[in-house]
A and B are shown apart, each in its own frame.
Chain A
Amino acid sequence: MFSKRSVVSLAKASLFKNQPIYSQFYITARCNLTCEQCNIIFANSDVAECSIDEIKMIADNYAELGVAMVLLTGGEPFARKDLPEIVRAFESNGVHVRMQTNGFASEKQIVDVVEAGGRDISISLDSLNPSIQDSINGGFSQSWHRALEAVALFTKHLPKEASFASFGCVLQPSNLADVEDVIRFGTAISWYSSVVPIHVTSQIAPRGFRVFDPDFGWSESEQKLAFALVERIRLMRQDGYLLYDSDQYLDDIKRFISNEPTTWRRKNGGVCDSPNLYFALLPNGQVAPCCDFRLSDAPFAFAENFPSAFRSKSLKTKIQDIAKGCDGCMYGSYPEISISMRYLQAKIDRFRGFIAAPIEKNWPWTYDDLLTLAQDIRANREEETDVQKIKIREL
């Protein structure tokens, strides 16, 4: 899936920790859902979107910088009609594209992005219970079913070889009983799952992705349930379930939800690796340290001089000054990249999982079969609940 140049970039990043390999590009703030745990659609609403011509220049500049992978996210990336062109712009420059979507895409849109070279998809799925998912998604009825339809379409149109499909699952008090189901479901259809804990902030510290609502914080009893859940999903991964998250990342989830310092930034003096290993782009193409913070005068990635502006000491200093003041996040990709690049065991695990033993995909799946599978998993879960309760009490 990665170009030769990207593989070289990944090797350089692993050795020197000073090669940007990953970028989150928030190509639009527009979204057809208003998910409870997402604030970025409001935080990025104030900027103009880049045109496709500007994005083509961004793709050229990413290739020059050696960026190996771009996450096209939003908002909802499929809200942009030119998404296939955007995918093509990056893929034709050897920059691997991952698309992050809520699943509100038509078959034609999915076919078009696959034909454009898109081979990597992440769909948000927090529960196998339609009513819970619809509620998390902001009360949009049928949103769970729409996501399932998109899953079926991607298993139909993505090639089985050299492709990657995953679920992004936000761990929050309202879906503690559902996360294992999502992982079981994903594994049954050859999709990985990744868990991100909900991020909450207050009115006096607004951050791009973090919700203001204190009701999404963790009570003591919910924390205990979450700890137990993390241990159970760790065991699931050891049993062969397709959970993407590393052991260190899972440990840090527990620390994060109990407001203790996480460990993934330790090897870089307690700050993250932005912009040395990763960075974000706002919808207007401006560089940002991450989804939570911005610079007032950051360079635009479509500018002719962007590669040199990005490598400048002044930009690095500005971003690292912000990173030094950050308490830390658990947004998934940044922690996992730092862990993979800085910890040998994680590196070995990644190699084993993705290069030495890629999974054989049992695709395609129809919507009806996925629906039946989801119902079966939920029905079987009911029988396990008592066992889970005992495990939780033991902890």
Chain B
Amino acid sequence: MSKKLKFESFKFHFFRCAEILTDQLGVDERQHYLKFLMSLEIENLGQKAVINWEFPTSGRSAFEYRNLELYRRAVSSSRRDFCKNGGEYKDVVRDRNEELMLRYVSQIFMLSGLSKREKVERRDW
């Protein structure tokens, strides 16, 4: 069966952002998070990705794909996707997607009881 583009994109970027956040943790704490991430099950339900976890407390959460802006085509007439900020270009679409996904992963960590506060910081990956 062919893979679902938005679902697979969600999965990849969810785990990528999880890696960004867990890379900032100490060794022991990180191991705990990695065990959690390895155990996650993600289902594709309609226009949503549903994340299920069993520990530290069991739970589930759904994410609507439409919140992400994926496969953004070229804009020929202007550079509205690439704004200049302090002399440097920024990809507004990428930044928005990444910020949204980092926040979502951080919320999952809080909902599961792994963390008590939201941590969102962009890093290389």
Chain A residues within CB distance 8 Å of chain B: 29-30, 34, 39, 41-43, 45-54, 80, 82, 138-140, 202-206, 212, 284-286, 293-297, 299-300, 302-303, 318, 322
Contacts and interface: CB of A to CB of B under 8 A. Distances in A.
B74 interface: yes
B119 interface: no
Given A34-B5, A48-B81, A49-B73, A206 B89 contact: no
B63 interface: no
A46 B2 contact: no
Given A293-B124, A296-B124, A29 B74 contact: no
B19 A205 contact: yes
Contact of A286 (B3, B13, B16, B91): B91
A48 B92 contact: yes
B97 A46 contact: yes
A80 B73 CA distance: 9
Contact of A42 (B8, B72, B82, B91): B8
B76 A204 contact: no
Contacts of B97: 46-47
Nearest to B34: A204
Given A54-B82, A203-B38, A206-B15, A46 B5 contact: no
Contacts, number: 119
B12 interface: yes
Interface string B68-99: 11111111100101100000110111100110
B9 A46 contact: yes
22 contacts: A34-B3, A42-B9, A43-B12, A46-B97, A47-B91, A47-B94, A48-B92, A48-B94, A49-B73, A51-B79, A54-B79, A202-B38, A204-B19, A204-B34, A206-B15, A206-B19, A212-B11, A212-B15, A284-B93, A295-B124, A297-B88, A300-B91
B37 A45 contact: no
A50 B74 contact: yes
B122 interface: yes
Contacts of B66: none
B1 interface: yes
Contacts of B124: 293-296, 318, 322
Interface residues on B, range: 35 or more
4 smallest beta-carbon distances between A and B, as pairs: A48-B81, A48-B93, A138-B2, A45-B9
A42 B94 contact: no
Given A47-B91, A48-B92, A206 B12 contact: yes
A49 B72 contact: yes
A299 B93 CA distance: 16
B71 A45 contact: yes
B99 to A, nearest CB: 11
B75 to A, nearest CB: 6
Contacts of A206: 12, 15-16, 19, 125
Nearest to A55: B74
Nearest to A139: B2
Nearest to A82: B74
A52 B13 CA distance: 27
B89 A303 contact: yes
B19 A300 contact: no
B123 interface: yes
B40 interface: yes
A52 B125 contact: no
Contacts of B2: 34, 138-140
A203 B22 CA distance: 13
A363 B72 CA distance: 39
Interface string B29-71: 0000010011010000000000000000000000000001111
